[in-house]
């Protein structure tokens, strides 16, 4: 097997590597550090299991939400320490305290972004917060299969393509597997994050214990050594074009190719529940009856009966208000279409390998940077 799927379709989920019986597939960093499968032809037996598993080569059932909710955690500490209202945290706490285990994304010291297995409440904090980088799920796929086989209730939280990879492990989704997908805008690679922190910020990876990609009051990149803050970018919206990692992310320059062809950036969703920020709240119907929510608010879209039951179970832990489904969809581009690879991005992708990411990005948005600086002077 020389080619599993076309490169522009590959989401880097790693399911092909996890399913290979001869361990002939490894994930190799290519452009901008994104991981793609590489097949060792000496080990490969052409069994075809990789292509049978590949989510990009098969249609996945998606459902249109019948209802939408705006919600946030009633627990003040939980709410303040969350970045989008705390819906993921409420679900995580429920599973760990009552019925099972949770798989979610964390930052491993040394700047490794990956999914881990959590089976107790004291470790729930590891999954909190947004991570604007692609997480690896390869190591947990076999663990998920074993936990589900053992009859354990499993909650998996990830991007839609990661959720699809988990679903592809089964002919039918098991009753004890609960899937929550995040409204994803596209993913930079883990390698690009490491390179940025090491080469631009001049911070060694072994000095990094944690990374915050967002504060409740600002879109800021924060780097920590234990509990000590060693780097903090200005708020993206007030300090635009001042942090290279954040700006290349927000403008879509460092996404993987599949993000521009995303099968899941549409109203029909792949999981039991979709969650994310509720952008556009109040745009279609009055929201004055909803109390103030200064630390963000979650958009919650139940898709399946299982998802609806789960929301009803945790409802007492939430401030939750029903909203029009169209308000949620129209307020968030990624619930309608994927990021477009515009001319600026196309040019950047051609030249960054020759002049570096920093110079390439600045060249591609030089007119915007000039306007930004002029506005700052005028103010």
Has residue 227 got a pLDDT over 90? no
- List the alpha helices (DSSP H) in the chain: 15-19, 49-53, 76-80, 87-94, 138-149, 160-167, 190-195, 244-250, 305-314, 325-330, 343-355, 357-364, 366-378
- Six token digits for residue 39: 């097949």
Report the C-alpha gap between 369 and 375 in whole angstroms.
10
- Do 94 and 164 fall within a single domain? yes
- Six token digits for residue 105: 């994304």
- Do 154 and 38 fall within a single domain? no
3-state secondary structure 202-246: CCCHHHCCEEECCECCECCCEEEECCEEEEECCCCCCCCCCCHHH
In a domain, 291, yes or no: yes
Tell me what the pLDDT averaged over the chain comes to. 95
Mean pLDDT, residues 162-183 taken together? 97
At residue 187, the pLDDT reads 97
DSSP state at residue 304: S
> What is the CATH classification number for the domain harbouring 24?
3.30.70.20
At residue 339, the pLDDT reads 96
- Do 30 and 75 fall within a single domain? no
- CA angle in degrees (0–180, nearest 5) for 110-179-268: 115
In a domain, 131, yes or no: yes
In a domain, 57, yes or no: no
Widest CA span of the chain, in angstroms? 66
Residues in CB range of 106: below 8 A, 6 or more apart: 113, 114, 115, 116, 126, 127, 131
Q: Which residues pair with 117 in a beta bridge?
A: 103
In a domain, 58, yes or no: no
At residue 221, the pLDDT reads 95
Residues in CB range of 133: below 8 A, 6 or more apart: 113, 187, 188, 189, 190, 192, 193, 213
Number of compact structural domains in the chain: 3
At residue 217, the pLDDT reads 77
Per-residue pLDDT tens over the stretch 22-41: 999 999 999 999 999 999 99
Per-residue pLDDT tens over the stretch 306-363: 999 999 999 999 999 999 999 999 999 999 999 999 999 999 999 999 999 999 999 9
- Do 299 and 170 fall within a single domain? yes
At residue 216, the pLDDT reads 77
CA-CA distances (angstroms) from residue 38 to 8, 29, 244, 304, 345? 15, 10, 30, 36, 26
Report the C-alpha gap between 347 and 122 in whole angstroms.
47
Report the C-alpha gap between 249 and 245 in whole angstroms.
6
Per-residue pLDDT tens over the stretch 256-282: 999 999 999 999 999 999 999 999 999
- Do 326 and 266 fall within a single domain? yes
pLDDT band at 300 (very low <50, low <70, confident <90, very high): very high
At residue 378, the pLDDT reads 85
- Do 235 and 258 fall within a single domain? no
- Do 14 and 128 fall within a single domain? no
Report the C-alpha gap between 91 and 85 in whole angstroms.
12
Mean pLDDT, residues 82-109 taken together? 95
- Do 159 and 279 fall within a single domain? yes
Has residue 95 got a pLDDT over 90? yes
- Do 160 and 90 fall within a single domain? yes
Q: What is the dihedral of CA 197, 113, 310, 150, to 10 degrees?
A: -170
Mean pLDDT, residues 135-160 taken together? 97
Nearest to 109, CA basis, from 225, 202, 215:
225
3-state secondary structure 310-366: HHHHHHHHEEEEEECHHHHHHCCHHHCCCCCCCHHHHHHHHHHHHHCHHHHHHHHCH
Mean pLDDT, residues 99-107 taken together? 95
Tell me the pairing of strands 112-118 and 100-108.
Answer: antiparallel
At residue 1, the pLDDT reads 66
Residues in CB range of 358: below 8 A, 6 or more apart: 200, 244
For the entire predicted model, the pTM comes to 0.96
CA 328 to chain centre: 18
Mean pLDDT, residues 200-228 taken together? 93
- Do 70 and 169 fall within a single domain? yes
Report the C-alpha gap between 197 and 146 in whole angstroms.
36
Taking only Cα atoms into account, the Rg of the chain, rounded to an integer number of angstroms, comes to: 21
In a domain, 61, yes or no: no
pLDDT band at 247 (very low <50, low <70, confident <90, very high): very high
- Do 142 and 168 fall within a single domain? yes
Nearest to 231, CA basis, from 240, 239, 222:
222
In a domain, 59, yes or no: no
Has residue 215 got a pLDDT over 90? no
- Do 228 and 322 fall within a single domain? no
Containing domain of residue 289, as a range? 66-185+254-333
Has residue 192 got a pLDDT over 90? yes
Q: Which residues pair with 299 in a beta bridge?
A: 70, 276
Mean pLDDT, residues 120-134 taken together? 95
In a domain, 60, yes or no: no
């Amino acid at each position: 097997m020389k080619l599993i799927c076309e490169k522009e379709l590959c989401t880097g989920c790693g399911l092909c590597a996890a399913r290979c019986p001869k361990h002939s597939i490894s994930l190799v960093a290519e452009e901008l550090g994104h991981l793609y499968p590489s097949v060792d032809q000496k080990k490969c037996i052409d069994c075809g299991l990789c292509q049978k598993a590949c989510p990009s080569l098969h249609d996945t059932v998606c459902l249109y939400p019948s209802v939408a909710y705006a919600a946030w955690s009633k627990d003040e500490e939980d709410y303040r320490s969350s970045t989008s209202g705390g819906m993921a945290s409420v679900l995580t706490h429920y599973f760990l305290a009552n019925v099972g285990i949770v798989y979610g994304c964390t930052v491993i010291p040394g700047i490794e972004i990956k999914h881990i297995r959590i089976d107790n409440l004291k470790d729930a904090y590891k999954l909190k917060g947004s991570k604007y980088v692609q997480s690896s799920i390869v190591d947990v796929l076999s663990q998920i299969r074993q936990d589900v086989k053992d009859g354990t209730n499993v909650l998996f939280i990830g991007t839609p393509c990661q959720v699809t990879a988990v679903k592809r492990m089964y002919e039918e989704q098991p009753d004890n597997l609960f899937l929550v997908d995040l409204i994803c805008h596209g993913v930079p690679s883990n390698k690009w994050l490491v390179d940025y922190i090491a080469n631009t910020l001049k911070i060694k990876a072994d000095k990094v214990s944690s990374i915050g990609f967002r504060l409740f009051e600002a879109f800021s990149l924060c780097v920590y050594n234990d509990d000590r803050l060693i780097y903090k970018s200005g708020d993206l919206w007030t300090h635009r074009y001042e942090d290279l990692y954040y700006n290349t992310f927000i403008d879509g320059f460092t996404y993987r190719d599949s993000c521009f062809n995303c099968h899941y950036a549409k109203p029909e969703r792949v999981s039991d529940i979709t969650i994310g920020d509720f952008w556009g709240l109040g745009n279609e119907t009055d929201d004055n009856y909803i109390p103030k929510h200064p630390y963000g608010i979650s958009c919650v879209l139940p898709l399946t009966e299982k998802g609806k039951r789960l929301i009803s179970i945790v409802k007492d832990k939430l401030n939750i208000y029903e909203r029009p489904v169209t308000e949620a969809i129209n307020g968030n581009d990624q619930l309608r279409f994927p990021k477009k690879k515009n001319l600026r991005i196309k040019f950047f992708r051609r030249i960054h390998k020759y002049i570096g990411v920093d110079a390439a990005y600045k060249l591609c948005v030089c007119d915007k940077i000039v306007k930004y600086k002029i506005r700052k002077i005028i103010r």
